[in-house]
């Protein structure tokens, strides 16, 4: 009996302290921590890298106080959590990424981090090379040499309430997998705000502004791509608010653009083209398409089909333009006060 008690006590102590031998389900980092410590709440570590090494699969790393915690490579399922009220910084120097996620099948969550490029030749804020899923919540990712969030694997990536600003590559780029951006801000990146090469991208309730190349860009390269954009503001971006397949040979793209504010982007509000590889099938409904120097919306590829309904299209050079492809209008678009209101278009009817 006495022996059993002693064992239980020892076990309890090990669990509470996050024993240095066993991996702990919850580890801690703090400004006053030391990486030789067990990363327990009483003896926290100093850097994310040390804490991850001592964290069990599916465990959590908690930030105790405000400080910088260093770049980190993640190869197990883990959550890194900086609660509200705490600044948890990652300064990113030359040739590295802030957070690198790289192991098959892992699930990673990042909450409350501020990732800042401190070298023009830094890589990405969050670089996803392998993972099942990555969730980025309440983060600010700025000034990186390349992209805020780069996904190069078939990973489900969610960006929620996150700011991506002033990155030299762009905001979020999806090369493969699935990307959801919701309630976020994509501001003043040197390339596109959000770009997709293949996979599925959903953007909702997000601010996409002042990105030099354009707001949202799709150039599918081989496999099919699906894009859905809703309740989002696309204002003052470079060439276009949203452009599809304008530059690349590509597979088919399916596109839904609904309920957005698309205003005063460079030349185009919505530019729909297709590469030689496949068709673009789009519906564009209930958007504001206002103040573009070329077209509010244009179909500019032989294999483009766009169904356009209930949009307000004002103050562009041309409002709705069917250049090549087919632009169907349902009869409920309000298209006025453009230098040319409609150029082409094919009447469509509701059921």
Partner 1 sequence: MKRILIALASASLLAGHPAQAAQRTFVASTGNDSNACSLGAPCRLFAAAISKTDPNGEVIVLDSAGYGAVTIAKSVTIIAPPGVYAGVSVGSGDGITVDGAAIDVVLRGLAINGQGGVRGVVFANGATLSIERCIVSNFTTNGIRLESSGAVSIVDSAVLSNGGDGISVNASSLTVQIRRSRIEANVGIGIRVQSAAGVAIADSSVTRSGGGGVELFVTSGFTAKLAIDRSLFADNAFTAVIAYATAPSAVARLDIRRSTVARNGAGILAIATAGSALVGALDNEVTDNAGNGIEANGAGSLVRASGNKVMRNAIGVKQTSSGIVYTPGTNYVRDNTTNDGGHTADTRI
- Of the candidate residues 7, 25, 58, 66, the single one contacting partner 1 (CB under 8 A): 66
- Of the candidate residues 26, 111, 123, 165, the single one contacting partner 1 (CB under 8 A): 165
Q: Does residue 167 touch partner 1 according to CB under 8 A? A: no
Rg of the chain's alpha carbons, rounded to an integer? 24
- Of the candidate residues 41, 86, 249, 256, the single one contacting partner 1 (CB under 8 A): 86
- Of the candidate residues 135, 221, 294, 312, the single one contacting partner 1 (CB under 8 A): 312
Q: Which of residues 97-136 bind partner 1 (CB under 8 A)?
A: 114, 116-118
Instruction: Give 215 or 245: the residue with its C-beta nearer to partner 1.
Output: 215
Instruction: Give 212 or 281: the residue with its C-beta nearer to partner 1.
Output: 212
Q: Does residue 185 touch partner 1 according to CB under 8 A? A: yes
How far, in Å, CA of 143 to CA of 51, rounded? 26
- Of the candidate residues 71, 143, 267, 323, the single one contacting partner 1 (CB under 8 A): 143
Q: Which of residues 199-258 bind partner 1 (CB under 8 A)?
A: 207, 209-210, 231, 233, 235-236
- Of the candidate residues 18, 38, 44, 166, the single one contacting partner 1 (CB under 8 A): 166
How far, in Å, CA of 324 to CA of 305, rounded? 9
- Of the candidate residues 77, 288, 303, 323, the single one contacting partner 1 (CB under 8 A): 288
Retrieve residue 27's tokens: 């580890």
**Residues of the shown chain interacting with partner 1 in the complex, contacts defined by CB under 8 A:** 31, 46, 66-68, 84-87, 89, 91, 114, 116-118, 140, 142-143, 163, 165-166, 185, 187-188, 207, 209-210, 231, 233, 235-236, 261, 263-264, 288, 290-291, 312, 314-315, 320, 329, 331-337, 341-342, 345, 347
């Amino acid at each position: 009996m006495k022996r059993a008690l002693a064992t239980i006590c020892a076990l309890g102590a090990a669990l509470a302290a996050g024993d240095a031998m066993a991996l702990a389900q919850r580890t801690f980092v703090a400004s006053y921590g030391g990486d030789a410590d067990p990363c327990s709440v009483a003896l926290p570590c100093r850097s994310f890298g040390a804490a991850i090494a001592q964290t069990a699969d599916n465990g959590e790393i908690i930030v105790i106080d405000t400080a910088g915690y260093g770049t980190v490579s993640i190869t197990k399922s883990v959550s890194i959590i900086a609660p509200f009220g705490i600044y948890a910084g990652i300064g990113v120097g030359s040739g590295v990424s802030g957070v690198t996620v790289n192991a098959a099948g892992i699930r990673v969550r990042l909450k409350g981090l501020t990732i800042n490029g401190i070298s023009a030749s830094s890589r990405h804020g969050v670089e996803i090379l392998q993972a099942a899923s990555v969730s980025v919540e309440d983060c600010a990712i700025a000034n990186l040499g390349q992209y805020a969030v780069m996904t190069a694997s078939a990973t489900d990536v969610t960006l929620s309430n996150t700011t991506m600003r002033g990155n030299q590559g762009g905001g979020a780029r999806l090369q493969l997998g699935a990307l959801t951006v919701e309630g976020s801000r994509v501001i003043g990146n040197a390339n596109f705000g959000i770009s997709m090469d293949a996979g599925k991208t959903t953007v909702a309730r997000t601010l996409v502004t002042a990105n030099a190349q354009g707001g949202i860009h799709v150039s599918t390269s081989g496999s099919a791509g699906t894009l859905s954009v809703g309740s989002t503001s696309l204002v003052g971006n470079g060439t276009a608010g949203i452009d599809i397949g304008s530059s690349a040979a590509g597979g088919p793209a399916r596109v839904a653009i609904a309920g957005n504010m698309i205003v005063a982007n460079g030349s185009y509000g919505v530019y729909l083209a297709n590469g030689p590889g496949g068709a673009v099938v789009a519906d564009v409904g209930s958007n504001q398409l206002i103040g573009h120097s070329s077209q509010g919306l244009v179909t500019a590829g032989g294999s483009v089909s766009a169904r356009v309904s209930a949009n307000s299209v004002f103050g562009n050079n041309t409002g709705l333009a069917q250049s090549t492809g087919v632009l169907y209008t349902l009869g409920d678009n309000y298209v006025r006060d453009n230098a040319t209101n409609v150029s082409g278009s094919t009447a469509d009817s509701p059921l």
